[in-house]
Structure 1
């Protein structure tokens, strides 16, 4: 039987409608949560039933090294000005050969927070921008 190794977490791409940006250093926060609603039935049985409630999705955090590209910042700037532009996107996990293996699609997303880099004259790290993207749904394809 052939050995099957898990995929590495550093080989990924991020695609967002109309925005092409390379060099993401980190992407986190995609998942889902179903709220548990407890309901106690009447009568002699003191049983508490657990029913599914609302579904929510955490914010997605993107981090990348600063380049000349302004596309993601400009997308956030439109939200700051009150003009929310919702976009769909994907996080794509690749194998060692660069082939797509797993895809997480997110829908109706908009940038809710932007953080610029921290500077330190004693360091030699890459300057990192980060963007928090709020979405209405995430699915693993």
Structure 2
């Protein structure tokens, strides 16, 4: 049996539309979408030559899927600066990549409807493998210009020190 929440009155699961992303100790403004956190463990089949024709299955290597962050295009250069640490067009030969600091750990915080932090994941050793500076531009469209970065990573872990918060009660409501 798993652990049960301490808030017996909350029956609703948390929503997916309130969240924050943090790196370098500060929140990244304007992030509107974070792709799924997903890991896959390969299955390894094996059998002994004297066994019947069935086989055994055991876990093999575990891989963590890349994470994509999206946000509206602004003058904030956070996505671009990080992407340029992996490949900086126009730099001197031998200086195209910032080997000392192209990786970052990031934090993804899920918030409840009242804006309280309820679930936190730490994502380790991320680096930008894809950077989309601008989307398709279309004079007939009516949409926000979105930039994206794709982050390769070496794993993530839930921060179990984050406890379920006491949900607020509105007075005089």
- Assess same fold via TM > 0.5: yes
Displaced runs of 4 or more, over 6 A: none
Which residue of structure 1 lines up, in the alignment, with residue 3 of structure 2?
Answer: none
Which residue of structure 2 lines up, in the alignment, with residue 82 of structure 1?
Answer: 97
In structure 2, do the counterparts of structure 1 residues 5 and 107 end up closer, same or farther at CA, with 3 Å as the change threshold?
same
Q: Please, what TM-score do these two structures have when normalized by structure 1?
A: 0.92
Equivalent pair of 1:34/1:56 in contact (CA under 8 Å): yes
Which residue of structure 2 lines up, in the alignment, with residue 63 of structure 1?
Answer: 70
The counterpart of 1:40, out of the listed 40, 47, 52, is 47
- The reply to whether residue 137 of structure 1 matches residue 144 of structure 2 is no
CA distance in 2, matches of 1:79, 1:112: 8
Q: Give 3-state SS (helix, strand or coil) of 2:44's partner.
A: strand
Q: Give 3-state SS (helix, strand or coil) of 2:79's partner.
A: helix
Task: Give 1:17 deviation, angstroms.
Answer: 2.2
Equivalent pair of 1:118/1:128 in contact (CA under 8 Å): no
Structure 2 residues not aligned, in runs of 5+: 1-7, 88-95, 160-173
Greater shift after overlay, 89-98 or 12-21? 12-21
CA distance in 2, matches of 1:44, 1:36: 19
Give the number of aligned pairs.
141
Identify, as 1 or 2, the structure richer in strand: 1
Q: Please, what TM-score do these two structures have when normalized by structure 2?
A: 0.76
Equivalent pair of 2:20/2:27 in contact (CA under 8 Å): no
Specify the structure having the higher radius of gyration (Cα): 2
Structure 1 residues not aligned, in runs of 5+: none
Aligned CA RMSD, in angstroms, stands at: 1.5
Equivalent pair of 1:37/1:51 in contact (CA under 8 Å): yes
